[in-house]
A = this chain, B = another copy of it.
Amino acid sequence: MATIYEIAQEVGVSPSTVARALRGTGYCSKEKYDKIIAVAKRLNYAPSHAARSLKSKRTNKILFLIPDIYNPFYFGMIKGASDVLDQNGYYTILCHTRGDKGMEKKMLRSLKEGYGDGMIFVSFDFNKENIDAVNACALPVVLTNNYQSLSGNDHFDCVYIDTFEGIYMACKYFISQGFRKIGYIGGDTTVQTGRERFAGFLKAMNEGNVPVNQNFLKEGDFSRDSGEKSMEEMISARSVPEALVVANDLMAIGALKACKKHGLHIPQDVAIIGMDNTDLATCTVPELSSINMKEEDIGRYAAELLMERILKGRKEKRTIRLQPELFLRGSSRREA
């Protein structure tokens, strides 16, 4: 690949002049400018990204870590963020971590090494290890979870939606509709996001004085298959709730499928509310009621927080909290 030196030699000017011409800043006569551009094109010149960012300390790239590319919930976040980043002249570089802690650390190290100017970090679970890694890299990182600082020394931003509140409001709705046999298919409670959701369920049940039936409680892994399996288990154990809150849409669809397969009608036999309100929710028959987790807003805010740090030099920590909304569709209607 050609360099500015080769172009300079060819045209008969100094490398400085070539650099100015190609960058379009600083003085350069029309005559030389044209020559330089022509030669650059002929030699198929492209400025070296490495050389530029070595000197200028900027890459114009933002890393975006997502734990599960099969989950449509994250698409909205990506869209929201990349819209904002695009507008500010930043590239969005996605990285699929699969929730793997090793991969996350690897990418945080890469950030520290200057792969990008900042990061939007989505993870199923934040623990001391990856939080330490976040703090260790001096570049701005935004977490999209509700991270309760343990040390108080964390200096990163957060934007998150209250998942606890989401499940809570779904349960409350069922209770307000007179349901008493309410089930819950949750996610992995060894990770934060799974725990929060389950806590929302318990609080609503408690407040509504609705007994928690252990047979109506299942734990999946946020995949459709695990939702289907959980429902199958309840059906074959002959303990099927009348209303079911599911911790994400994928599992809700799995549960819905299992019900249909065994002749249970939705919502007459089992009313279902999912979570995330993804595109999938309107793909089913009946359409799935779901909790809107405003993922596009999360992405947009996360990008804005980054831009504030990078472009405006903000130093102090900021946290943004969003409220979920319940979208009622066919799957949760109470029979008259």
Bound CA–CA A119/B70 (angstroms):
22
Contacting pair B96 A96 (CB below 8 A): no
Q: Hey, which chain B residues are within 8 Å of A93, CB to CB?
A: 93-95
Bound CA–CA A91/B116 (angstroms):
14
Contacting pair B285 A260 (CB below 8 A): yes
Contacting pair A70 B137 (CB below 8 A): no
**Chain A 86-112 interface mask (CB, 8 Å, partner B; 1/0):** 000001111110000000001101101
Q: Hey, which chain B residues are within 8 Å of A106, CB to CB?
A: 91
- Contact partner of A285 among B96, B113, B257, CB < 8 A? B257
Bound CA–CA A69/B279 (angstroms):
13
Bound CA–CA A78/B78 (angstroms):
16
Bound CA–CA A78/B285 (angstroms):
30
Contacting pair B283 A285 (CB below 8 A): no
> Is A15 part of the binding interface, using a Cβ–Cβ cutoff of 8 Å?
no
Q: Hey, which chain B residues are within 8 Å of A137, CB to CB?
A: 46
Beta-carbon nearest neighbor of A46 in chain B: B112
In the complex, identify which listed stretch (A50-58, A146-154, A235-243) lies at the interface while the others stay far away: A50-58
Contacting pair A46 B109 (CB below 8 A): yes
Q: Hey, which chain B residues are within 8 Å of A78, CB to CB?
A: 69, 96
How far, in Å, is A143 (CB) from chain B's closest CB? Answer: 20
Beta-carbon nearest neighbor of A259 in chain B: B285
> Is A138 part of the binding interface, using a Cβ–Cβ cutoff of 8 Å?
yes
**Chain A 277-294 interface mask (CB, 8 Å, partner B; 1/0):** 001101111000000000
Contacting pair B224 A114 (CB below 8 A): no
Bound CA–CA A78/B96 (angstroms):
9
- Known pairs A46-B112, A69-B78; list 11 more (Cβ under 8 Å): A1-B112, A44-B136, A44-B138, A47-B113, A48-B113, A91-B110, A94-B95, A224-B279, A224-B282, A257-B283, A280-B283
A interface residues with partner B (beta carbon < 8 Å): 1, 44, 46-51, 53-54, 59, 61, 69-70, 72, 75, 78-79, 82, 91-96, 106-107, 109-110, 112-115, 136-138, 224, 253, 257, 260, 279-280, 282-285
13 contacts between A and B (CB under 8 A): A44-B138, A48-B113, A61-B115, A69-B75, A70-B75, A91-B107, A93-B93, A93-B94, A94-B94, A280-B280, A284-B284, A284-B285, A285-B285
